[in-house]
């Protein structure tokens, strides 16, 4: 069995005129939300073997804020592909994963939300409905796949186990 964690970066500051979107940093609310989500991650036993993180500043800061939740020393890969890619490329990135049974993706919307609603073919109907309408910053979803190879992951092939919004905590 494979387990995928999808996390949208925490709340960031608005872009400063003339600055690149890529360089936006987390704001105070984002850091507070990550404190709450970190507790959920520990309680849910979130232990990724591998972390794929967008190389944008706000996603790196999101990972920095939750990294202490993982005592298993996961492999971390930063990639710009999670910054500017569409849904099909996010799935390709997942499909190319090797040597991991659990994977955490830290990325951006609309792709994190699209991925979280596209990959499950089943799961708790209330959870599915919740993420179909919105995928707020610092949200994390847990999706299981009854397969052994990430290359076999397709749309509607997973089971949504849980999604947590910071506002629910």
CATH of the domain at 55: 3.40.50.1240
Between the alpha carbon of residue 30 and those of residues 14, 20, 112, 153, the distances in Å are 12, 19, 17, 31
Q: Give me the residue label for tokens 């390709």.
A: 92
pLDDT at residue 18 greater than cutoff 80: no
pLDDT, tens digit, for every residue of 93-138? 999 999 999 999 999 999 999 999 999 999 989 999 999 999 999 9
The count of domains in the chain is: 1
pLDDT at residue 87 greater than cutoff 80: yes
Average pLDDT, integer, range 146-169: 97
Max CA-CA distance within the chain? Answer: 47
The pTM (predicted TM-score) of the whole model is 0.96
Q: Is 51 helix (H, G, I), strand (E, B) or coil?
A: strand
Cis omega before residue 110 (within 30°)? yes
For strand 2-8 and strand 102-107, is the pairing parallel, antiparallel, or unpaired?
A: parallel
Q: State the residue range of the domain holding 157.
A: 2-13+20-168
**pLDDT for residue 13:** 86
pLDDT at residue 15 greater than cutoff 80: no
In whole angstroms, give the CA distance from residue 70 to residue 167.
23
**pLDDT for residue 51:** 98
158 neighbors 124 (Cβ within 8 angstroms): no
Average pLDDT, integer, range 64-78: 93
Closest listed residue to residue 37, CA positions, set 9, 14, 60 = 9
């Amino acid at each position: 069995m494979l387990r995928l964690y999808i996390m949208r970066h925490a709340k960031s500051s608005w872009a400063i005129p003339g600055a690149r979107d890529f360089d936006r940093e987390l704001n105070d609310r984002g850091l507070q939300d990550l404190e709450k989500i970190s507790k959920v991650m520990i309680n849910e036993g979130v232990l990724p073997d591998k972390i794929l993180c967008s190389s944008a500043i706000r996603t790196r800061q999101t990972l920095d804020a939750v990294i202490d939740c993982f005592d298993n020393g996961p492999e971390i890969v930063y990639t710009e592909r999670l910054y500017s890619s569409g849904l099909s490329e996010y799935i390709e990135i997942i499909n190319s994963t090797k040597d991991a049974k659990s994977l955490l993706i830290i990325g951006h919307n609309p792709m994190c939300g699209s991925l979280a609603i596209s990959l499950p073919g089943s799961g708790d109907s209330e959870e599915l409905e919740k993420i179909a309408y919105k995928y707020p910053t610092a949200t994390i979803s847990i999706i299981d796949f009854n397969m052994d190879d990430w290359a076999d992951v397709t749309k509607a092939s997973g089971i949504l186990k849980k999604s947590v919004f910071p506002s629910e905590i």
